[in-house]
Amino acid sequence: MGAPFSGRPTPTTTPVAADTLDGKVLYQAHCASCHGTRGEGQADWKNKKPDGTNPAPPHDPSGHTWHHADGLLFRIVRDGGQAAGGGAGFKSAMPAARDTLSDAQIRATLEYIKTFWGPAERKSQASISAGDPYP
């Protein structure tokens, strides 16, 4: 068992070129420390922590990422979970990536996350995204 989740990603040990558009490389460097190397998320992700936030959710089919449109997912990554909003009482520890990743890198990372899903999840999410596509 590792250290307790601090709400902040653990820095990567492998430097990433500032202009890379390889979604897998970007995900492993910026997302995997919280969301897991295979998108499995943190244990007990549906239950709030003492600070009122939820542990990082999975990005695989067991989670809810595929229930959201590309536009919303993009805003969550770019602006952070709290800024992207989740309604009254929503509190998120998801940090904003706007100062770390370009818009193209955010899209590449989200496209990589979609490789964790099966055909049914991809089809459903594509349909949802028709009304709120990537910017």
pLDDT in tens, 107-134: 999 999 999 999 999 999 999 999 999 9
pLDDT in tens, 24-62: 999 999 999 999 999 999 999 999 999 988 899 999 999
Structure tokens that stand for 73 in this block: 């997912």
Structure tokens that stand for 58 in this block: 């999975």
Are the CB atoms for 30 and 102 separated by under 8 Å? no
pLDDT in tens, 67-119: 999 999 999 999 998 887 666 667 888 999 999 999 999 999 999 999 999 99
DSSP state letter for 114: G
pLDDT at 88: 62
- Per the rule left: phi > 0, alpha: psi between -120 and 50, beta: everything else, 71 is alpha
Query: Which residue ranges form the domains of the chain, and what is each CATH number?
Result: 23-129 (1.10.760.10)
Structure tokens that stand for 65 in this block: 């990422």
* Coil, strand or helix at 118: coil
DSSP state letter for 48: -
Q: Which of 61, 63, 60, 84 is nearest to 74 (CA)?
A: 84
